[in-house]
Amino acid sequence: VEDSLSVADVRWQSAAQCSGADFEFVPAVENPGDLYFVQGMWCNACPVRPECLLYALLYNQEGYWGGTDTAERRKLSKRGDRAKCPVCRSKAMISTGEHQICQHCAVSWAGDPEPRIPEGAAG
């Protein structure tokens, strides 16, 4: 067993909706059509979607994980308050100050702890 695997609890993978699926989840080139297909076929009904997404974010995985593609996870990794969820485009969000959480698909990301004051506005 690789050392890098020992730090990750991957028991959630036994409940994966996509286990045994005949599909390339880590393709050379990703596209929105395939992501949509993956969501509809597996991720939308998957009981371990949050664990899967978190794993991909923590370990910088490429491909389709937790109903997202690599580009969407790159957006999630950046700090910032957003008007829409970068994954499902819902505007229904909870803001804790530290984090924003999408009420629709349950993804979360680090928000802006202090709203930025535009340059020059403070005199």
Interacting residue ranges for Zn ion, rule: CB under 5 A: 85, 87-88, 90, 102, 104-105
Q: Which residue, 63, 57, 50, 56, is CA-closest to 15?
A: 50
CA-to-CA distance for 84 and 113, rounded, in angstroms?
Answer: 18
Residue span binding ligand SF4 (CB under 6 A) among the ranges 16-24, 69-77, 79-87, 110-118: 16-24
How far apart are CB 11 and Zn ion at their closest, in Å?
25
**By CB under 6 A, is residue 107 in contact with ligand SF4?**
no
How far apart are CB 50 and Zn ion at their closest, in Å?
12
- Among residues 35, 43, 57, 105, the one that binds ligand SF4 under rule CB under 6 A: 43
Q: Which three-class secondary structure string do you get for the chain?
A: CCHHHHCCCCHHHHHCCCCCCCCCCCCCCCCHHHHHHHHHHCHHHCCCHHHHHHHHHHCCCCCCECCECHHHHHHHHCCCCCCCCCCCCCCCEEECCCEEEECCCCCEEECCCCCCCCCCCCC
**By CB under 6 A, is residue 49 in contact with ligand SF4?**
yes
Binding mask 60-99 vs ligand SF4 (x if CB under 6 A, - otherwise)? ----xxxx--------------------------------
Residue span binding ligand SF4 (CB under 6 A) among the ranges 1-9, 15-23, 88-96, 108-116: 15-23
